[in-house]
Amino acid sequence: MLGSWKYALLYIGSGLLANALSMAYYNYHMEPTLTVGASGAIYGVYGGFLYVALLQRQFMDDASRKTLYAILMVGLVFSVIVDNINWMAHLGGLVTGFFIYGILIRLTRGR
């Protein structure tokens, strides 16, 4: 749906912003934390899918929408419950991916 360069922008942009939000959160709470991984970027892609599921319903069938909701609910619950998972990066990736996708499709509409 996006094409390769817009998908790359979504993935990399949400990954960078998710990690920046995570660092800001943990630094604010005086908890020095070092994390690694691409999970924030992956949740950014989920954020793009969430945008489609909520605001572009014609591009996603009901079964796929329900599957996405289930994956997100389970993933976010486990992100909070399980120790040593950077839940802030997951949540940050989801939110930033949602907004980056929305911006990308608006800026490149009709091109």
Number of neighbours of residue 111 by Cβ within 10 angstroms: 5
Q: What residues contact 32, with CB distance under 8 A and at least 6 apart?
A: 26
Q: Which residues are catalytic?
A: 39, 90
Could you count the other beta carbons within 10 Å of the beta carbon of residue 6?
Answer: 17
Helix (H/G/I), strand (E/B), else coil: 33: coil
Residue linked to tokens 């389970």: 74
